[in-house]
């Protein structure tokens, strides 16, 4: 029976979600996704992509999605579709460099996810569609044939936000309670929730692959929700940092250390985040050197770092207290005056040791943050000092 199932598996179209495929939008069998009325998107081996939607009464259909448009040289200008006689609108773009992209359709002015795409995403923002442009095999962020860790969802009551909250915790392959593991507390940005680092960020698969290659130290990754104030609240900036620090101290760190076999010294803890989470890392983490000794600031910083982080910058022993400080951003957000660039310049001026990196093929998006996690942050944690 097992042999029969394995032998038949390739007959299914990837979009049927039979496996965690690395090429889910390559439709080998020309099968329409379940509950859809047309195939969209369709990715070919030459990396061209065709989007389709049936909207016979529509007057205009366009493709939107900053990183995807950037990848095909369109900047932020939406790309129009062409309408056929049967009311089907279609658009072919590319070749597009292999990666995972976020996109939406604009139909007569209304922005919506692709109604036929089985890969979607949600967060602290409206839903969107995901496009996977495959390469010649599984990427560094894909589920490969290696030992896999486990991701556990924890739900708990917070007396900080007065409600139930969630946190996802990754344990590495072969997790052994007789050992003590370092912990990376990894947080999201303004539009992200606790689940996004595992789903969009692929943090668990990235670390699985790095561990299999011997390129990272076995660690636990705690992925909490760092949204503690409505992002549109007029006092968001004034309120969020103190509340998140309290949430970290009262709930997040204690829950992880009560439920897992962890190191409980400051040098066994790291804090990192993207965008708003990077600001949380700077404005909260740098104030909590009793809790953390390593930091990762991804696509973030502060234009007034000299003032806002004065205590950290003026600490004469800061280079002794910090084991690893990473500051990184994507290739297409590297321009003078950005928060990340300003932060880097201030750290250089103050002679504070840090690892600065600009790379990947993205801008302010998951293409960048996955790359920064893989290329720099995870391989370097607990490797130095």
Q: What pLDDT was estimated at residue 6?
A: 37
Q: What is the structure's pLDDT at 71?
A: 82
pLDDT tens, 229-269? Answer: 887 788 777 788 999 999 999 999 999 999 999 999 999 99
Q: Exposed (0-12), middle (13-18) or buried (19+): which is 5, by Cβ within 10 Å?
A: exposed
Cis-peptide, bond into residue 249, ω within 30° of zero = no
Q: Where are the alpha helices (DSSP H) in 191-261?
A: 196-199, 203-212, 236-247, 253-259
For the chain, the average pLDDT equals 92
% of the chain exceeding 70 in pLDDT: 95
What is the band of 340 on the pLDDT scale with cuts at 50, 70, 90? very high
Mark 179-200 as b/e (b = at least 16 C-beta within 10 Å).
Answer: eebbbbbbbbbbbbbbbbbbbb
Predicted structure pTM score: 0.93
- With 90 as the cut, is the pLDDT of residue 361 above it? no
pLDDT of residue 67: 84
pLDDT tens-digit series, residues 40-75: 999 999 999 999 999 999 999 999 988 889 888 877
**What's the confidence (pLDDT) of residue 14?**
43
Lowest mean pLDDT among 79-83, 190-194, 198-202: 190-194
Cite the residue boundaries of each domain of the chain with CATH code 3.40.50.1820.
Answer: 150-380
Specify the range with the lowest mean pLDDT, choosing from 4-18, 67-81, 154-168. 4-18
Residue 202 has pLDDT above 80, yes or no: yes
**Of the listed ranges 43-57, 115-129, 170-184, the one predicted with least confidence:** 115-129
- Range with lowest mean pLDDT among 64-78, 82-96, 306-320, 347-361: 64-78
pLDDT grade, residue 2 (50/70/90)?
very low
pLDDT for residue 5 is more than 60: no
> Does the pLDDT value for residue 118 go beyond 60?
yes
Nearest Cα residue to 172 out of 219, 223, 224, 216: 219
Over residues 14-20, mean pLDDT = 71
Partner residues linked to 102 by β-bridges: 130
Please name the CATH architecture into which domain 2-133 falls.
Sandwich (2.60)
Higher-confidence residue of 140 and 32: namely: 140
**Architecture category of domain 150-380 in CATH:** 3-Layer(aba) Sandwich (3.40)
Give the model's pLDDT for residue 35: 87
- Give the C-alpha separation, 209 to 371, whole Å: 13
What residues does CATH 2.60.40.10 cover in the chain?
A: 2-133
Rounded to whole angstroms, the Cα distance separating 309 from 283 reads 7
Q: What angle do CA 267, 292, 211 make, to 5 degrees?
A: 60
Query: Distances in Å between the alpha carbon of 288 and those of 246, 261, 262, 269, 316?
Result: 11, 22, 18, 11, 16
């Amino acid at each position: 029976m097992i042999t029969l199932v394995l032998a038949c598996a390739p007959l299914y179209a990837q979009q049927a979600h039979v496996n965690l495929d690395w090429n889910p939008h390559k439709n080998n069998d020309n099968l329409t996704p379940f509950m859809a009325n047309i195939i969209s998107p369709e990715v070919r081996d030459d990396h061209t992509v065709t989007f389709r939607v049936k909207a016979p009464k529509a007057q205009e259909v366009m493709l939107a999605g900053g990183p995807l448009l950037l990848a095909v040289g369109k900047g932020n200008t939406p790309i129009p579709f062409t309408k056929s006689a049967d009311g089907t609108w279609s658009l072919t773009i590319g070749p597009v460099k292999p990666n995972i992209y976020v996109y939406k359709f604009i139909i007569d002015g209304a922005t919506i996810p692709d109604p036929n795409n089985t890969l979607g995403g949600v967060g602290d923002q409206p839903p969107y569609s995901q496009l996977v442009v495959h390469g010649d095999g599984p990427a560094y962020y894909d589920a490969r044939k290696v030992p896999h860790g486990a991701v556990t969802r924890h739900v708990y009551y917070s007396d900080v936000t007065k409600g139930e909250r969630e946190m996802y915790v990754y344990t590495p392959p072969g997790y052994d309670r007789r050992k003590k593991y370092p912990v990376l507390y990894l947080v999201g940005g303004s539009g992200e929730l606790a689940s996004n680092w595992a789903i969009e960020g692929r943090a668990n698969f990235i670390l699985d692959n790095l561990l299999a290659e011997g390129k990272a130290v076995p660690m636990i990754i705690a992925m909490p929700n760092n949204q503690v104030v409505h992002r549109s609240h007029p006092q968001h900036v004034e309120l969020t940092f103190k509340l998140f620090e309290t949430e970290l101290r009262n709930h997040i760190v204690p829950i992880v250390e009560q439920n897992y076999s962890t190191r409980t010294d400051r040098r066994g803890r790291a804090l990192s985040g993207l965008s708003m989470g990077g600001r949380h890392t700077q404005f909260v983490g740098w104030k909590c050197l009793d809790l953390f000794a390593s930091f990762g600031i991804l696509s973030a910083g502060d234009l007034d770092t000299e003032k806002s982080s004065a205590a950290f910058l003026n600490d004469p022993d800061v280079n002794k207290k910090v084991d690893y400080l990473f500051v990184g951003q994507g290739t297409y957000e590297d321009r003078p005056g950005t928060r990340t660039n300003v932060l880097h310049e201030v750290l250089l001026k103050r002679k504070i040791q840090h690892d600065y990196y600009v790379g990947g093929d993205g801008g302010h998006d998951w293409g960048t943050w996955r790359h920064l996690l893989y290329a720099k942050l995870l391989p370097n944690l607990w490797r130095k000092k």
